[in-house]
Structure 1
Amino acid sequence: MDPWLSTYDSTHHLAREIAEKIHERNRYLRNGENPAKVNVTVRSLMKRLSESIGHLRDSLLRSVSTRQITQMEGDRRQNLVDELLTKERQLQMSFKSEGTEPDVIRSSLISGRAVGPSPYNPWVMEEPEETQGLGIGELRQHQQRMIAEQDAGLDALSSIISRQKQMGYDIGNELDEQNEIIDDLTNLVENTDTKVRHQTRRVKLVDQKSGSCAMMVVIVLLLIAIVVVAVWPTK
């Protein structure tokens, strides 16, 4: 099985496990029991979930950039990662608010962390001025507006990444075309070099033959001179 898909399956199973633990935590709260142990487990599982999703995202980016998978498969896997990210946000919201008492919900909404029913909680942050005096419903609306703004920012970031991805593909296609041109030029240079070497050998051969012919002419002229001297009448 593909390692990426295997990791996705285990991550999807981990998300379901977290949902079951949160349901168990809420049952403890309704029964007046202390859910501290379950809360610790959920936080640990949520950290693992976030790391696993990050690993899937990074691995997918490498596979797409190195063209180990097709564009269609890359888009399909990106949709799976997006679904996991949505599920992660839902689990975080559920862990922060569902099943808790009104005053605890307020602290959770303000601090951004899940809290239990204990009077003392080290995770609770000091409430900012903008939320002071707001009721639980107003706090929920405030948090929803913040989440909507974050989602809008994520949408804008996703659009930018999509454009950059398309630019990357365009650059890759341009590089492929340039590589083909370079290959053609290389072949042309090699052919030209072969022809030049061939012509050089021919020139050397002709030069050698020309030198031999010149020597023969000199020898013939010398022989003629000798004969002339030999037969020339002396006084």
Structure 2
Amino acid sequence: MGGDTWLSEYEACSRLGQDLMEQINERNKHARTSSAYTKLSAQIRSKTRQFTSDLNRLKQNLMRASASYHITQREVERRQGMMDVLVTKEKQIDEATRNEGSSRSLLLGHGGGGDTFSQADPWGMNDEPEVFRDMSNTDLQQQQQSVIHEQDRGLEALSHVVSRQKQMAIDIGNEVDDQNELLDDIGDHIDRTDNRVQRETRHIRIVDRKSAGCWYYVVIMLLFIAIVIIGVVPYNGKP
């Protein structure tokens, strides 16, 4: 894919991880009090930070490329598989720095450039955090259990919060349904009232028209009576 720098950055990150493992095995060949061991330890720490930074940048660039559809879904899945290889390598390097003095060792794979573990040589790592250096394996296990227990309590508290939020959402949904039913009832009452108002309005118009007709008849009768009176009165008044 022309113009795509992700693959070249991946290759550079992969070579850096390979160099780290080679230096770790090289350092383990020296005594822990030697200057060569100290020098290699400093280089390993620096390269480990660079490897982690490059790996995080690759992850972010892959997510951005996937979100913007610059690459196909199939290519995203392929690159994610490549990222998994680097993540595994990162875990191996991190494990090496956390298990100084254990009976395991890291050997470099030949032919495929892969990384395998062997029981032949000790790690002999000397760059673990200061807080862990004077702790026994039992103390480390107890601290790990304490951390796991704290995480479990945090997850349990989060679960309770999510459950309360879910219940609140259900209650709000039920209240909305009740309000919708009330609005439907009000709408029905308004429709019925409007129909009655229209019906009564038609009745009033009919009565009004009938009332106007009655007044016409009254006026006609009054005029008729006036004509009769006018015609009769002069006749009866002659000598």
- The TM-score with structure 2 as length reference comes to 0.51
User: Does the Cα contact within 8 Å between 2:27 and 2:41 map onto a contact in 1?
Assistant: yes
Per-residue Cα deviation, 1:16-43 (whole angstroms, up to 9, x for no partner): x999887555423213362545433433
User: Does the Cα contact within 8 Å between 1:22 and 1:95 map onto a contact in 2?
Assistant: no
Quickly say closer, same or farther: Cα 1:147–1:24, change in 2 above 3 A.
farther
Corresponding letter in the other structure for 1:231: V
Name 1:76's counterpart in structure 2. Answer: none
5+ residue gaps, structure 1: 1-16, 57-87, 113-135
User: Does the Cα contact within 8 Å between 2:21 and 2:93 map onto a contact in 1?
Assistant: no
Corresponding letter in the other structure for 1:39: R
* Matched ranges for 1:25-104 at <5 A: 26-32=24-30, 34-46=40-52, 92=94, 94-98=96-100, 99-101=123-125, 104=126
The Cα of 1:176 is off from its aligned counterpart by: 2.2
Q: 2:214 aligns with which of 214, 217, 227?
A: 217
Corresponding letter in the other structure for 1:30: N
Matched, 1:166 2:166: no
Name 1:116's counterpart in structure 2. Answer: none
User: Does the Cα contact within 8 Å between 2:23 and 2:44 map onto a contact in 1?
Assistant: yes
CA distance in 1, matches of 2:25, 2:211: 114
The Cα of 1:89 is off from its aligned counterpart by: 9.1
Quickly say closer, same or farther: Cα 1:207–1:90, change in 2 above 3 A.
farther
CA distance in 2, matches of 1:44, 1:110: 21
The Cα of 1:163 is off from its aligned counterpart by: 1.0
Quickly say closer, same or farther: Cα 1:159–1:95, change in 2 above 3 A.
same
5+ residue gaps, structure 2: 1-14, 31-35, 64-89, 101-122
Quickly say closer, same or farther: Cα 1:201–1:178, change in 2 above 3 A.
same
CA distance in 1, matches of 2:18, 2:157: 36
Quickly say closer, same or farther: Cα 1:19–1:199, change in 2 above 3 A.
farther
* Matched ranges for 1:94-133 at <5 A: 94-98=96-100, 99-101=123-125, 104=126, 108-110=128-130
CA distance in 2, matches of 1:186, 1:194: 12
Quickly say closer, same or farther: Cα 1:210–1:92, change in 2 above 3 A.
farther
Count of residue correspondences = 161
CA distance in 2, matches of 1:151, 1:90: 21
Quickly say closer, same or farther: Cα 1:190–1:28, change in 2 above 3 A.
farther
Structure (1/2) with the larger helix percentage: 1
CA distance in 1, matches of 2:172, 2:93: 44
The Cα of 1:143 is off from its aligned counterpart by: 4.5
Quickly say closer, same or farther: Cα 1:149–1:229, change in 2 above 3 A.
same
Please tell me whether Structure 1 or Structure 2 has the larger radius of gyration of its CA atoms: 2
CA RMSD of aligned residues (A): 4.0
Name 1:7's counterpart in structure 2. Answer: none
CA distance in 2, matches of 1:148, 1:90: 22
Quickly say closer, same or farther: Cα 1:39–1:194, change in 2 above 3 A.
same
Q: 2:176 aligns with which of 179, 184, 189?
A: 179
Name 2:154's counterpart in structure 1. Answer: 157
* Matched ranges for 1:170-209 at <5 A: 170-209=167-206
Per-residue Cα deviation, 1:177-217 (whole angstroms, up to 9, x for no partner): 22222222222222222222222222222222222111111
- The TM-score with structure 1 as length reference comes to 0.52
Per-residue Cα deviation, 1:26-74 (whole angstroms, up to 9, x for no partner): 423213362545433433454656xx7xxx9xxxxxxxxxxxxxxxxxx
Q: Percent identity?
A: 8
User: Does the Cα contact within 8 Å between 1:18 and 1:46 map onto a contact in 2?
Assistant: no
Name 1:5's counterpart in structure 2. Answer: none
